Copies of this chain bind each other. A is one copy, B any other.
Amino acid sequence: MAKINENYLQLKSSYLFSEIAKRIKEFESKNSTQKLIKMGIGDVTEPLPEACMQALHAATDEMGKRESFKGYGPEQGYSFLRELIAANDFKNISPSISPDEIFVSDGSKCDTGNLQELFSLDSVVGIPDPVYPVYLDSNVMAGRAGNFSDGSYNKIKYLNTSLETGFLPNPPSEKLDLVYLCSPNNPTGAVFTKERLKAWVDYARQNKAIILFDAAYFAFIQDENLPKSIYEIEGANEVAIEFRSFSKTAGFTGTRCAYTIIPKECFGFSENGEKHSLHSLWLRRQSTKFNGVSYPIQKAAAAVYSEEGKQQVAKLIAGYMKNAQIIREELTKKGLKCVGGDNAPYIWVETGTDSWQFFDMLLNKASVVCTPGVGFGKCGEGYIRFSAFNSRENVEEAMTRISRLEF
């Protein structure tokens, strides 16, 4: 009899987005006059940079000729792309990162979801609250989360955050084996300073823990003093794996390309205390269960690092960050306390009511959709998330409507 992995039965159904969709549907069935503006979605809206499109066209033509046709590529990505990433993203901030420590993949969601496979099922896992739900769900599926009751899993160590902690977690007194950190954070838009990130690296070195550092939004950091990579912190190479993506940087959410850095100095341990290279384990994992990213897509990603590509990406990001500024300024003017939006495309807003109540009010009074913060974890209650991924026109119209509200 084929028995299922019963850990899946411990998953809570993804209530958040289905509930949002349901409330929108109900609202629209009653109100047909005003255009709905969706300010909750973490998906890009602007076209692919011209340089990437040109590269995609050129690579497509290569696939049509026998001399330049590409079959299976290396599972860990083509050297041309890994070398560009090392030279452009790391050479200045952490020159020890070499191209063969970079694994190209089809998405950070896949990598953050799959990477836990390398670790023992009895690992103690620390997960910030609120945060991107894939870290938790992938560990629930693997069986590391235990049972769900009273709104939480009994084996997960929730790293609670609040306005006082700047919506980022500090290292706990207890020992963790694995820690997920996300900076710039989704959903709060908060970014670790070097000092706070150093505290985590020191903690991990002391406890032989591994930090899974999600830097998918690094390109939105404007303040030069804030770390864009965990490898800016001394010693991080020994204890940290970093996830990065072209999704938000260059508008690749529908084109699919990302990369994960696993330094060769980064080790896990077997029961008997022996060191094992996580780089080797991940290479083995990817060689067995992954077949590399589409060649034309890797060429499109490489174009992000051309001179034109860099300029076009900078323009894209500046556009979204201007949106963030407009949103943050308007909401602040209305007396709402905001975090994020200065070094991240998300604005995290204290509502003074519960998350869903504020969501309903915005929907009903302004036809504007946001994301209730409680959907990202218990500590998100009383907050909502605004996304800067939208056209300028939509952002301005939404803010005009909100400016007229009384609350």
Residues of A with Cβ closer than 8 Å to B?
Answer: 1-6, 8-9, 11, 14, 43-48, 50, 53, 56-57, 60-61, 63-66, 69-73, 106-107, 109-110, 113-114, 117-123, 134, 137-138, 141, 177-178, 207-210, 251, 253-256, 268-271, 276, 278, 281, 284-285, 287-297, 391
Contacts and interface: CB of A to CB of B under 8 A. Distances in A.
A47 B71 contact: no
Contacts of A110: 289-291
Given A69-B254, A253-B291, 11 more contacts: A5-B120, A8-B281, A45-B69, A47-B69, A50-B64, A56-B296, A71-B251, A106-B256, A117-B141, A255-B295, A255-B296
A120 B254 contact: no
A64 to B, nearest CB: 5
9 contacts: A5-B281, A6-B120, A8-B285, A45-B71, A47-B64, A47-B65, A106-B291, A113-B290, A256-B294
Given A138-B288, A296-B56, A269 B4 contact: yes
Nearest to A266: B2
A254 B72 contact: yes
A292 B109 CA distance: 10
Contact of A60 (B14, B53, B63, B251): B53
A73 B122 CA distance: 35
B47 A5 contact: no
Contacts of A276: 4, 9
Q: Which of A47, A137, A269 has the most CB of B within 10 A?
A: A47
Contacts of A209: 1-2
Contacts of A6: 120, 270-271
Contacts of A123: 2-3
A71 B254 contact: yes
B4 A281 contact: yes
A8 to B, nearest CB: 5
A13 B69 CA distance: 30
Given A1-B209, A72-B254, A109-B290, A66 B45 contact: yes
Contacts of A45: 66, 69, 71
B57 A268 contact: no
B66 A107 contact: no
A277 B262 CA distance: 36
A35 B52 CA distance: 38
Contact of A63 (B48, B121, B270): B48
A293 B256 contact: yes
A285 B268 CA distance: 26
Contacts of A8: 118, 281, 284-285
A267 B114 CA distance: 24
Contacts of A46: 66, 69
A66 B43 contact: no
Q: Which of A11, A209, A287, A288 has the most CB of B within 10 A?
A: A288
B107 A253 contact: no
B60 A256 contact: no
B289 A119 contact: no
Contact of A1 (B64, B208, B293): B208
A106 B106 contact: yes
A1 to B, nearest CB: 4
Given A56-B296, A284-B8, A291-B107, A70 B2 contact: no
A319 to B, nearest CB: 12
A121 B141 CA distance: 12
A153 to B, nearest CB: 15
A69 B287 CA distance: 32
